[in-house]
Amino acid sequence: MYVWRSILTIMRKSYILICFLILSKIITIGQTTNKPDSIKKFGITFSGFVKAEAAFDTRQVINSREALLLFYPDNQLLDKNGKDINAHPSLNQYAMATRLIGTITGPGAFGAKTMAYIESDFTGPSAIENNAFRMRHAYIKVNWAKSELLMGQWWHPLNVPEMIPNVNAMNIGAPFHPVSRQPQVRLTRNFDNFRMVAAAVSDRDYSSIGPLGATSEYLRNSVIPNMHLQLQYKKEDKFFCGIGGDYRRLTPRLITDSSLKANESLDCWVATAFAKVKTEKLTIKLQSVFGQNLYEHLMMGGIAVQKIDTATGSMTYTTLDQLTGWLDISTNKKKFNAGLFLGYAKNLGSLHNIWGTTYARGNDIAYVYRISPRLAWTSGNLSFTSEFEYTAAAYGTPDYLGDVHNAKEVYNFRVLVAAIYTF
């Protein structure tokens, strides 16, 4: 019975995808045939890539999606003879990063140009649903002469599209580079070479962690969306830089352990600065992030209980803070390309004493760093890539302020190879 249910589920998802592709093709044909060349053609254009890759790790790692997305090496786990159980290699192959993109164009509205964008892959909505078709991005964009309004799911503003590292790995530089796609309303205003970005963001696939686990409830119940403001400067295609500030208010609980109505909240602040320089031969990108509770961005950090009111059971929370920085250098050749990614993340602990439970990623890690060179060979639509990640994490014991002491480095060496066919 279970096998038949699985087969029916796969057939249903495949049927929906096929119907979507056929319908979109009909729409495109219907809107572009029998029209003069002077009339603009509207419809949907498909693009994307098929990606086959394999990864080898020298030890067990903290990861997601069957280790397709790697964060850092797992801590030592010693048996009674003092042997490290996690010092065991692993090998896996993947095709679920394969991506399908639909770019939709149509007539103008409200005196502006309009378009929509849909992007999906096969990594599933969670780790237990690998190979399932899932939405990555889906947004509507309205463009006036100097303003742009984006509505839908897109990169969180901390993940600036122009600043995404050119790495081949699915982690896109995490836990050093923020990685998060969220529903949002974003307004961009251009002032010659300057650009201001203001966004109101919600949580969906990436969320904070707390007493209920990782869930969007903490932000939803605070009523106030995640607010972000950013100022950017761009000079042609040669120089790009910016600074940004981010604010979130979280509501960890609605009820105490004593079944009383809770009135608990926590403010989280993030600041970032970034720059990109492009020359004839090289592209150089660098970014630094200081953040309170960066868990939802696939980075380290989280929240902890600062104190408990013994009379009511009400809790006061504090954030676990991080400081990260990364540098990415890549060549600009069309056929043979090389690159290098360097990342560093430092656990700054908390500003307040911790006397209760900690909800975080990597709270027993003092720092993490990564050195990752890469190579790519492209001919036509086909590329072969290789990437080598050396990632070290210093595990230790956190004190009452969240600072980690007696840290000892554990490292992993990953070899990642892939074949990518774009269309």
pLDDT at 16: 44
pLDDT at 53: 97
Q: How far apart are CA 169 and CA 50, in angstroms?
A: 15
pLDDT at 335: 94
For residue 97, what are the CA distances in angstroms to 73, 124, 132, 178, 421? 22, 10, 11, 19, 12
Of 11-15, 325-329, 383-387, the one with minimum mean pLDDT is: 11-15
Question: What average pLDDT does range 177-183 have in this prediction?
Answer: 97
Question: What average pLDDT does range 124-141 have in this prediction?
Answer: 90
Question: What average pLDDT does range 149-171 have in this prediction?
Answer: 97
Please check the confidence at residue 106 and state whether its pLDDT lies above 60.
Answer: yes
pLDDT band at residue 37 under the 50/70/90 scheme: very low
Query: For 272-296, what is the HEC assignment?
Result: EEEEEEECCCEEEEEEEEEEECCHH
Q: What is the pTM of this model?
A: 0.89
pLDDT at 10: 44
Task: List the beta bridge partners of residue 152.
Answer: 139, 184
∠ CA 203-208-214, nearest 5°, is 95
Q: How far apart are CA 162 and CA 151, in angstroms?
A: 19
* Amino acid occupying residue 50: V
pLDDT band at residue 388 under the 50/70/90 scheme: very high
Q: How far apart are CA 115 and CA 20, in angstroms?
A: 18
pLDDT at 199: 98
- Which structure tokens are listed for 111? 């005196």
Please check the confidence at residue 122 and state whether its pLDDT lies above 50.
Answer: yes
pLDDT at 166: 96
pLDDT band at residue 29 under the 50/70/90 scheme: very low
Please check the confidence at residue 154 and state whether its pLDDT lies above 70.
Answer: yes
Query: For 150-196, what is the HEC assignment?
Result: EEEEEECCCCCHHHCCCCCCCCCCCCCCCCCEEEEEEEEEEECCEEE
pLDDT at 112: 97
Please check the confidence at residue 353 and state whether its pLDDT lies above 80.
Answer: yes
- Number of Cβ within 10 Å of residue 349's Cβ equals 22
The pLDDT tens digits of the residues spanning 282-330 come to 999 999 999 999 999 999 999 999 999 988 899 999 999 999 999 999 9
Q: How far apart are CA 105 and CA 113, in angstroms?
A: 9
User: 4: helix, coil or strand?
Assistant: helix
pLDDT at 40: 61
pLDDT at 254: 96
pLDDT band at residue 129 under the 50/70/90 scheme: confident
pLDDT at 124: 87
The pLDDT tens digits of the residues spanning 365-381 come to 999 999 999 999 999 99
Per the rule left: phi > 0, alpha: psi between -120 and 50, beta: everything else, 392 is beta
